[in-house]
Structure 1
Amino acid sequence: MENAHGVEPAHFQADFERLADVRALANHLLTTYPRIDVLANNAGMATKAFRRTADGHEATIQVNYLAPFLLSKLLRERLRGGRIVNTAVRPASNVRFDPERLGHNGQGYSAFAVYQSSKAANVLFAMEAAQRWPGILSLSLHPGVARTDINRDTSLRLFFRYVPFLISPENSARRLVRLAVTPAEELTSGALYGPRHAIRPKPDIFNADYAARLWATSEAALAEATT
């Protein structure tokens, strides 16, 4: 089926709070498409309070990072010669991150801190995937502070509704599309990109050691979820 702009896109649905849904989605895509040019890991959420998924993980970490990590791994062979774009954020100067700790026990829970950690993980995943999967262009993206309802259940909801300098979702999406279509030779695999150029996050967290350790922690977390 085609519309005025070309082929009508197909629609698929998966609940990223259920890793079984992610695996089912990957199986469907693998049986439907012989080639995948771009995987845009753009799913995101922020919660008001601590919540654990059926897989045993804190919900924001699972939806924003662990589920996209799993989907990328499952689609890896089909993505050879293509690219993965992970929506992250420009890391805050005070961001803290432990690559050996994806979980949270709920004590002293801060929705903003956990959200920042999940997005820091997206950046580190892109860095490590660039090393492990050289046949795939791996990128992360700071899409700008967009006026969306991602924080509708948190104390930040009024900020995202009324602060005047936020960008529109359409302009934010254009940044993702740019990374999806820019010739590969003009981009650096493993890099975090802003509106136009690569961003250099602080090296005490965003380094090869942290990226490799996070990858190992993530694979262990997925292995536990299947047992």
Structure 2
Amino acid sequence: MTGATTGIGRATALALTGRASHLILHGLEPEAQVGELLGAVRAALPSEATLSYFAADFSELVEAERLVSDIRGVTDRVDLLINNAARPGPPTRTVTDTGYEITFQTNYLAPVVLTSGLLDLITDGRILNIASATHLSATLHLDDLTLARHGYSPSTAYAHSKLALVTYSCWLATHRPNPAIDVVSQHPGIIATRLLHAMFAVGGDRPEHAAANIAHVASLRDDNGTYYDERRPAPPNPEATEPATQDRLHAATVDLLAY
């Protein structure tokens, strides 16, 4: 699971300890800075279970690629991949070293890199992409995916990146290499986290509420292509379900990642 050290990810990491034989967590911080969390996770894991932790900053795509190598170095099988790591849109449009808007890169391109790099290890498993209900009000700018020409705002960039992630989930559900793989996406709830409050002046539920929703959806099977609003299957943004839009996004993503 990515983004496991704060907010929703931290609560979910702890919620998953009872069902993991090898729990692999990712965070932005070096391992030395998350000792308290890792200690709590180890204490909750079954005695025979293994914990691995890797740090990677998704504002650099090479770190997402390195994370693929790190994970492949400790396992030859992935039963459940939860792409949870995300960042809010910064106050002004910010471009990474690779030339992409940072919210889109962190919330969309990095999960695609990670998922693509691990897909052959998920022979009978599940990919759960953590999205946001904000994607329902977004428009996917296929001609300007990194928002160089369209009006920028932090919340617009965030919603745009999450719409891309839901659209990718729908594309991958159709093009999964193995029918034993389920690909789903989920809005985990409106949760009081630093990410939420960086963009929206609203309250929210505790991270444990989202963690319970994620753990529930993670436990399901035979629901390939479903978008969940918390625990309830729901229609995503109609753009995400259009095959032509999915294919155009996929083609554009391949071009962007050929850096």
TM over 0.5: yes
Deviating more after overlay: 16-25 vs 196-205: 196-205
TM-score by length of 1: 0.87
Partner residue, 1:3: 43
Partner residue, 1:173: 211
- Mapping for residues 41-120 of structure 1, pairs under 5 Å: 41-46=83-88, 47-91=90-134, 94-105=137-148, 108-120=151-163
Name the CA distance, whole Å, in 2 between partners of 1:151 and 1:62: 18
Deviating more after overlay: 206-215 vs 118-127: 206-215
Kindly provide the amino acid, as one letter, of the partner of residue 118 in structure 1. Answer: S
| Structure 2, gaps ≥5 residues long | 1-38
Is the Cα–Cα contact under 8 Å of residues 140 and 239 in structure 2 kept in the other structure? no
CA RMSD of aligned residues (A): 2.0
Task: Establish whether residue 198 from structure 1 lines up as the match of residue 233 from structure 2.
Answer: yes
**How many residues were matched structurally?**
214
Q: Which 4+ runs in 1 deviate beyond 6 A?
A: none
SS at match of 1:12: strand
SS at match of 2:129: strand
Is the Cα–Cα contact under 8 Å of residues 142 and 252 in structure 2 kept in the other structure? yes
**Higher helix fraction (1 or 2):** 2
Kindly provide the amino acid, as one letter, of the partner of residue 84 in structure 1. Answer: I
Name the CA distance, whole Å, in 2 between partners of 1:21 and 1:205: 28
Is the Cα–Cα contact under 8 Å of residues 87 and 143 in structure 1 kept in the other structure? yes
Q: Summarize the Cα distance change of 1:107–1:138 in structure 2 as closer, same or farther, 3 Å threshold.
A: closer
Partner residue, 1:220: 255
| Structure 1, gaps ≥5 residues long | none
Partner residue, 2:80: 38
Is the Cα–Cα contact under 8 Å of residues 82 and 137 in structure 1 kept in the other structure? yes
Q: Deviations over 1:2-32 (max 9, x none)?
A: 6343135221110001111111110111121
Partner residue, 2:191: 146
Partner residue, 2:182: 137
SS at match of 2:127: strand
| Larger RCO (alpha carbons 8 Å, 6+ apart) | 1
Name the CA distance, whole Å, in 1 between partners of 2:166 and 2:144: 16
Q: Deviations over 1:188-211 (max 9, x none)?
A: 211111222211124255322211
Could you tell me which of 68, 74, 89 is aligned with 1:26? 68
